Amino acid sequence: MGRRVKITLLLAPALLVVSVLFAGGLSAAVVQSLGYLPAIGRTEVSLDAYREVLGSRDFLDSLLLTVYVAGASTGISTVLAVLSALALRNSAGRLSAAIFQLPVTIPHLVAAVGIALVVSQTGLGARVAAALGLIGEPSEFPALLFDRHSIGIILTYVWKEVPFITLVALAALRGVAAELEEVAQTLGANRWQRFWYVVFPVIAPGVVAASLIVFAFTFGAFEVPYLLGQTYPTILPVMAYNEYRSIDLSSRPAAMAINVLIALITALFAAAYLRLGRGLGRG
């Protein structure tokens, strides 16, 4: 059997699944976003849905919220993760792996429910505040769920993603960075110089790649904002879903147009992630 034939055959099942169910689904979304829906007698193709979506106030609000939530979650997670990796580099390896692996493995839904029971106005945080005499009534505790600033959503993401990025940074730090840092110290570099010129360049590629994954994920994720988010504006995937569920089938092209835009934006991040991976030399 020729080598090329063998590789093709080995790849065929996976490519078939991704092509039919994923790429096929996205293509169908594109077609429907263009207004082609024979099921309801619409066969003209136009960019009306995109014009409508991109020109609407709702979409703009939703896009801004999505960028804000994904950006804040990613930014906060990345900074906290680098700091905790630096703080924990000397701790017991296996123990830290176990502790950080836990949030990474826990489903987002459980994380959201747990965080909600901590930060709600009758939650654990409010009870501690009451015990300390800071508040008397639940309503005096700041509203952190279903709120304008999406604090509950961001807290859930931070709880989930800080450990993920920390693990990536720790893996880099425990490798070559420790030795290089010692050399730098011997050569007289101070703490800041050692961080900026030695440690940072070593952990940066992994941390940036992990942050890209986190941004793409939080940009397109549905569950946590659907559970803990406010009613308006909603995050883009929730907006697409609400449009999709609407009884009025004529709003379907708009729902699909939002989907296509989400897919395009997240695909850009995927490409950046892979490009970064290749630039670093695979394996």
Partner 1 sequence: MDRKNRRRGNLGLAVAALLVALPFLPLFLWSFAGEWRFPALLPTGWSLRGFQALAEPGSRVIEATINSLVVGGAATAASVAVGLPAGMALGRYEFRLKGLVVFFVLLPILVPPLASTMGVHLTFIRLGLADTAFGVFLVHLVPTVPYTTVILASVFAERGVELEEAARTLGATPWQAFLRVTLPGVAPGVAVAALFAFLVSWSQYILTVLIGGGNVITLPMLLFSAARGSDPVLTSVLALIFVLPAILALVAALRFLKAGDAKKKQEGLLGLGKVS
- Report the residue number, 220 or 233, with the smaller CB distance to partner 1: 220
CA dist 6 and 62 (Å) reads 47
Least Å distance, CB 97 to partner 1, is 6
Burial of 77 (0-12, 13-18, 19+ CB in 10 A): buried
71, 114, 142, 205: which one contacts partner 1 (CB under 8 A)?
114
Give the dihedral sign, CA 95/100/103/106.
negative
The residue type found at 247 is: I
Q: Which residues pair with 42 in a beta bridge?
A: 37
Please answer whether residues 61 and 233 qualify as being in contact, where contact means their C-beta atoms are separated by less than 8 angstroms. yes
Site for partner 1 in 135-164 (CB under 8 A): 138, 159-161, 163-164
- Report the residue number, 149 or 277, with the smaller CB distance to partner 1: 277
Of 243, 204, 240, give the one whose Cα is nearest residue 219. Answer: 240
Site for partner 1 in 218-237 (CB under 8 A): 220-223, 226-227, 237
Stretch binding partner 1 (CB under 8 A), from 63-71, 114-122, 142-150, 188-196: 114-122
Q: What mask of x and - would describe binding to partner 1 in positions 20 to 49, judged by CB under 8 A? A: -xxxxxxxxxx-x------x----------
The single residue listed with the structure tokens 């994720």 is: 221
Site for partner 1 in 159-198 (CB under 8 A): 159-161, 163-164, 167-168, 171, 174-175
Least Å distance, CB 250 to partner 1, is 15
